[in-house]
Structure 1
Amino acid sequence: MSVHELIAVLPEPQELRAHCRAVALLDTIVSAPGGPSHTFVADWRPGVDLAGMDNGSGDQYDIVFGPDGVFLYGFDHESEASPWREDERAHWPGLLDGLPESLAEFAQAPEFQFDGFFDATVCAWYEAGAGGWRCGPVELAEGETDGADWLFDILTGSDPAQAFIDFAEEYYERPVDREAVEAVLKGAPLDRRMVAALSATASFDAVAARAHAVGWAVADG
């Protein structure tokens, strides 16, 4: 799957934002006491939220949710589309072609630069009022990949709970409770039972504080 197939299966912005927030909260619980690979920052900038993933092995994505739309990018360090394929880093042809001016600032955001360059192998966007996901006219030969075939699996799977479970059980090497995962993905208020079911080491108070920070309801008691 390339970015062209990815934009056909990405959820609408509000659904994607809600899912990213839930995945980040789940990862916060399951990863405890370590740090999660999936994150969500409410009001990263005024009126703008940021979801991200960093697997610690050189691969990552970020998704910016703002009033002008959504900007999504990923970086697969082993992709043929890597800017590092050239002695002087260069984006894959067409990667950012057509990016609306209203969202272009995010490709220049200091937080997304590495040594002064925007490292990305896949980009897509959803401009407010445009009615759908778009990408540049990227072309890949057979056998080449931009990372879209795996970077966003946790956000595009037909079974969202299983997609998170598959990720977490492989990444953290321990079983994950499906009922609790489904509850969080459905937006249920966080409670002690759910946290305990997902992690024997997570501090409920610490998780609750994180949940409050992203606007998640926490049950009393």
Structure 2
Amino acid sequence: MKRWPKTFLQPEALKQRLHILSALDIVLCQEEWLRRYQFEPQWDENTAFASINNGAGDDLYILFTPEGVIVKGFDHESEMSPHAREEYEVWPGIYEQVPPALLHRLDDEALTREDVTFCLWRESTDHVWKTGDIHNPQGLDDGSDFLLGMIYNSSEDYVEWAEDYYEVNVPLDVVGYAFENTSITKEMMMELNPEVDLEMAMKELQEIGFTVT
């Protein structure tokens, strides 16, 4: 195995960021199936789950467990996809060195373990993210820049995406507040989406443990 070569958030910061992105999606979009971000604080015992799905066949699953964190990404256009291989096999090196306790977490049928183009992980005792020794002499694109890039590092980047995706004006100050405080007010919810069903959105935010003040 080797160190993940790209800059990536620390586990707690990653979890918080995905929590915020999911909460913003809840306010902006009442149709769950249209949302890009999902967060479940109690996916399984002591395990939180986050996902990103762009609706075009690409997805990212992240599990926060007592053993550590595992991230599985699938870019359906990548030449490293099992669907692009004659044997329909996971690309060599992606899973072989994942700690068994973390890899086992992907056994849930909903996580489509075989649909993968990259994987990274961090055990609870690790100080860096790790990935397998991937056999990729041609330097094929595994989709990681594309998919991990959806975990926006700034409110400005999120607003740019959300305005394009939802075709609405998204107030930067409200998103900035959510990014900074991991919370939102009812007034801000109305500012984000004047047509939001406030009661329903607040119920969903409560379910994922997001603070409404």
Instruction: Confirm or deny a common fold (TM above 0.5).
Output: yes
Q: Which residue of 1 aligns with 2:64?
A: 65
Ranges in structure 1 where 5+ consecutive residues have no aligned partner = none
Counterparts of 1:4-153 in structure 2, within 5 Å, are 8-33=6-31, 35-113=34-112, 118-141=114-137, 144-153=140-149
Mapped to 1, the partners of 2:207 and 2:115 lie a distance apart of 29
Ranges in structure 2 where 5+ consecutive residues have no aligned partner = none
Mapped to 2, the partners of 1:142 and 1:171 lie a distance apart of 34
Following superposition, the deviation at residue 143 of structure 1 comes to 6.3
Moved more, 84-93 or 16-25: 84-93
Mapped to 2, the partners of 1:5 and 1:57 lie a distance apart of 30
Following superposition, the deviation at residue 66 of structure 1 comes to 0.8
Which amino acid is the alignment partner of residue 143 of structure 2?
G
Mapped to 2, the partners of 1:17 and 1:128 lie a distance apart of 14
SS across alignment from 1:151:
helix
Q: Which residue of 1 aligns with 2:161?
A: 167
Superposed CA RMSD in Å reads: 2.0
Mapped to 2, the partners of 1:6 and 1:154 lie a distance apart of 18
Conserved in 2, the CA contact under 8 Å of 1:184 and 1:190?
yes
Following superposition, the deviation at residue 188 of structure 1 comes to 4.6
Following superposition, the deviation at residue 139 of structure 1 comes to 4.3
TM-score with structure 2 length normalisation? 0.91
Relative distance call for 1:142 and 1:201 in structure 2 (3 A) is: farther
Percent of aligned pairs sharing the same letter: 26
Deviation digits for residues 134-154 of structure 1 (CA, Å, limit 9, x no counterpart): 001124456621111211113
SS across alignment from 1:21:
helix
Mapped to 2, the partners of 1:7 and 1:40 lie a distance apart of 26
Deviation digits for residues 49-74 of structure 1 (CA, Å, limit 9, x no counterpart): 00001111111111000111001011
Relative distance call for 1:88 and 1:132 in structure 2 (3 A) is: same
Following superposition, the deviation at residue 212 of structure 1 comes to 0.9
Following TM superposition, where does structure 1 have runs of at least 4 consecutive aligned residues deviating by more than 4 angstroms?
A: 4-7
Relative distance call for 1:14 and 1:99 in structure 2 (3 A) is: same
Query: Which residue of 196, 201, 208 corresponds with 1:202?
Result: 196
Relative distance call for 1:46 and 1:181 in structure 2 (3 A) is: same
TM-score with structure 1 length normalisation? 0.88
SS across alignment from 1:186:
helix
SS across alignment from 2:22:
helix
SS across alignment from 1:106:
helix
Mapped to 1, the partners of 2:164 and 2:108 lie a distance apart of 32
Mapped to 1, the partners of 2:182 and 2:58 lie a distance apart of 31
